[in-house]
Chains A and B, each alone.
Chain A
Amino acid sequence: DADVTQTPRNRITKTGKRIMLECSQTKGHDRMYWYRQDPGLGLRLIYYSFDVKDINKGEISDGYSVSRQAQAKFSLSLESAIPNQTALYFCATSDHRLAGGSTDTQYFGPGTRLTVL
């Protein structure tokens, strides 16, 4: 979805390095999410943010941190990258107001392929 962009699209880094993945959206959505995708494990939630001042851990937040710099920007950092963080990372957005406040559809960016050597 061109309304959700991720940079970089591909990244190779070394163990111990700190890296940041960035996500921007022009959809005007209030909620943003970071997932990782691994073969055979599907999509797993790392962090989510319901608004600029509301950030929450997902199911696999260890080793990651996030920053919601503005409603349209949500970045994911790996403080000290390790090889098992090699994966596809997806940012997603949603707007709870579109679904009556109880459920919402998430729209995904194109992904970042991260390799940690």
Chain B
Amino acid sequence: GESVGLHLPTLSVQEGDNSIINCAYSNSASDYFIWYKQESGKGPQFIIDIRSNMDKRQGQRVTVLLNKTVKHLSLQIAATQPGDSAVYFCAENNWSNYKLTFGKGTLLTVNP
């Protein structure tokens, strides 16, 4: 069936390094993608989104890249900080479907 998944369940980086979190999706009809951050004991927090008519979008220290050819989404975090430690989820949506489909998450750990 259609699904959203992640290549890496865990990622450990040094403070100051750049982080890349990957996500594969299988629904070619998906036209909207979101990255969420979930810190321990909190709800998912919106980070950045991208529509299928774009291949790159930048925010503050974060960049999302979309490769529709291989159905791949990535989140890049520049100069990773200890406060970036969290679980990161990608989610997809499409114009014909009301709901978001979430991946299972990647745990990012930032070592000081």
Contacts and interface: CB of A to CB of B under 8 A. Distances in A.
Interface string B10-29: 00000000000000000000
Contacts of A110: 41-43
Nearest to A99: B32
Interface string A74-105: 00000000000000001010000001001111
Given A41-B104, A42-B105, A103 B93 contact: yes
B104 A48 contact: no
Given A90-B44, A108-B45, A40 B104 contact: yes
The interface residues of chain B, by DSSP majority, are classed as loop
A4, A43, A90, A104: residue with the most chain B Cβ atoms closer than 10 Å? A43
B45 A103 contact: no
A41, A42, A92, A110: residue with the most chain B Cβ atoms closer than 10 Å? A42
Contacts of B31: 102-103
Contacts of B105: 42
Given A42-B102, A42-B104, A105 B49 contact: yes
Contacts of A41: 104
B34 interface: yes
Interface in B41-95: 41-46, 49, 51, 89, 93-95
Contact of B89 (A42, A48, A58, A111): A42
Contact of B99 (A48, A99, A102): A48
B32 A103 contact: yes
B93 A107 contact: no
A28 B102 CA distance: 24
Interface of B: 31-32, 34, 36, 41-46, 49, 51, 89, 93-95, 98-100, 102-105
Interface of A: 1, 4, 33, 40-43, 45, 48, 50, 56, 58, 90, 92, 99, 102-111
